[in-house]
Amino acid sequence: MKCGSSLCTLNVGGRRFSYTAELMRRLPLSRLSRLLRCVSESELLELCDDYDRDRNEFFFDRHSEAFSFIMLYVQHGKLRFVPHMCELSFYNEMLYWGLESSDLQLCCQRLLDDRMSDALVHFFPEEELPRGPEITQNPWLEKMRRTFEEPTSSLAAQLLASVSVLFVVISMVMLCASTLPDWTALEQQSIIEAVCIGWFTAECIVHFLVSRDKWDFIQRPLNIIDLLAILPYYISVAMTSLTGENSQLQRAGVTLRVLRMMRIFWVIKLARHFMGLQTLGLTLRRCYREMVMLLVFVCVAMAIFSALAQLLEHGLDLEAGNHDYASIPAACWWVIISMTTVGYGDMYPMTVAGRMLGGLCVVSGIVLLALPITFIYHSFVQCYHELKMRSARCGRSLSGEFIN
């Protein structure tokens, strides 16, 4: 072995680079400096893919163009991304050779940070596939899981999703119709409600039985919403059985009416089948920091403007002042409807100073609400494309099943 000889050849992706051993020791690439400190061929093969003893040539199965840009950085001190190459892939090449993101130019660092933040946050992570033995032992269970949990995975899954959506629509129509003053079809309504609840209950139980991780299934937001939508029906039935109340008394009871209205959560079940609702949920979860920031902006502005409005409209003249602004909490209502540009007109400033403050409040509300919108919009577009790509992957499998 001649790794300590005067001339070394690096074969990176089929492209050769020749350097002296002394130059390689001075290069800011930790992999190459470690390479020259190896004392055995086994240590060499831990750092490179192959080694030719006769020609003193080290082989690396890496991206040759990326290595060329890295060597340009070594020569000129400026490192930028390779054109038409994924930033994350180039960053992996940098880490392989021993560079960090701080070695990049500032513009490329910002681009890398954006790409990494986009790639590392997921609301619907791809579930890990089970081990090989589990697939071979339970192929039917895996097929059932995909049918119930992935509406676009097969024809049967699409039919099942369509039936589920139909039951949701029917249950919502019956819930809305039951609030009409002259609604009389109570017996038919109870039968339809029982059928819908039976379908939702069976669907939830099957989802639980075919899920891979039962504890993870219980913690999912959509499954919790399903449970909240189903339980009120059984609670109302149990209360009716225990108290003997008829349907008319049930409608009059405050507790039972609240339980009935909780069935409006059935609408959220549509998120399982419609990409738009999934995109909305994914965006809200990814942008919770921006949403909290927006809430903080509004609360701070509300505290400032409500105190000033109460002082200008009522505090300076307690007798003849505007009594709509008698307290800061009352002025908070005016601030929030002004900042959101709703302006119900139920209360408004009378003094000149109060009107000037109102104009400033409206303009400030527009500015404060607009600040986080760019981040939320960017996240919404990204979430939509991710879910669309995931749906396309499932659609390809569906097309293959249809052709077969």
Q: Using one digit for the tens of pLDDT, what is the confidence trace for 43-82?
A: 888 888 888 888 888 899 988 888 888 888 877 777 888 8
- Indicate whether 243 belongs to any domain: yes
Is 244 found in the same domain as 163? yes
- Indicate whether 93 belongs to any domain: yes
Place of tokens 């109302």: 236
Is 258 found in the same domain as 162? yes
Lowest mean pLDDT among 84-98, 114-128, 285-299: 114-128
Q: Crossing angle of helices 328-339/288-310, nearest 10°? A: 130
- Indicate whether 155 belongs to any domain: yes
Domain that holds residue 187: 150-273
Indicate which CATH number applies to the domain containing 322: 1.10.287.70
- Indicate whether 129 belongs to any domain: no
Residues whose CB is less than 8 angstroms from the CB of residue 239 and which lie 6 or more positions away in sequence, other chains included: 245, 255, 256
Is 246 found in the same domain as 166? yes
Is 379 found in the same domain as 292? yes
Task: Report whether pLDDT(195) > 60.
Answer: yes
Is 262 found in the same domain as 304? no
- Indicate whether 140 belongs to any domain: no
335 pLDDT band, cuts 50/70/90, is very high
pLDDT tens-place string over residues 378-391:
888 877 777 777 66
**Identity at 340, one-letter amino acid code:** T
Indicate which CATH number applies to the domain containing 205: 1.20.120.350
Write the Ramachandran bin of 301: left for phi over 0, alpha for psi from -120 to 50, otherwise beta.
alpha
pLDDT of residue 221: 74
pTM above 0.95, yes or no: no
At which of 247, 273, 299 does a domain end?
273
Q: Can you give the C-alpha Rg of the chain in angstroms?
A: 33
Is 206 found in the same domain as 246? yes
DSSP string, 330-341: HHHHHHHHHHTT
403 pLDDT band, cuts 50/70/90, is very low
Which residues on adjacent β-strands are paired with residue 12?
15, 60
At which of 214, 240, 273 does a domain end?
273
Indicate which CATH number applies to the domain containing 20: 3.30.710.10
Six-digit token string for 115:
């790409």
Task: Report whether pLDDT(239) > 80.
Answer: no
- Indicate whether 206 belongs to any domain: yes
Is 45 found in the same domain as 159? no
Task: Report whether pLDDT(135) > 70.
Answer: no
Is 156 found in the same domain as 119? no
Task: Indicate the average pLDDT of the chain.
Answer: 77
Question: Of 3, 89, 81, 104, whose CA–CA distance to 48 is shortest?
Answer: 3
401 pLDDT band, cuts 50/70/90, is very low
pLDDT of residue 152: 67
At which of 123, 158, 175 does a domain end?
123
393 pLDDT band, cuts 50/70/90, is low
Is 18 found in the same domain as 119? yes
Residue of 131 and 204 predicted with greater confidence: 204
Residue of 388 and 307 predicted with greater confidence: 307
pLDDT of residue 286: 80
- Indicate whether 205 belongs to any domain: yes
Is 89 found in the same domain as 35? yes
342 backbone dihedrals φ, ψ, rounded to 5°: -80, -55
pLDDT tens-place string over residues 93-133:
888 888 887 788 888 877 877 777 665 544 344 444 444 44
pLDDT of residue 126: 40
pLDDT tens-place string over residues 141-193:
777 777 777 776 677 777 887 888 888 888 878 877 877 777 777 777 778 88
235 pLDDT band, cuts 50/70/90, is confident
- Indicate whether 256 belongs to any domain: yes
Task: Report whether pLDDT(248) > 60.
Answer: no
Please tell me the distance from the alpha carbon of residue 283 to that of residue 185, in angstroms, as a whole number: 41
Q: Is the dihedral of CA 180, 184, 186, 188 positive or negative?
A: negative
Number of domains in the chain: 3
Is 155 found in the same domain as 52? no
C-beta of residue 312 within 8 angstroms of C-beta of residue 355: no
Is 240 found in the same domain as 206? yes
C-beta of residue 325 within 8 angstroms of C-beta of residue 361: no
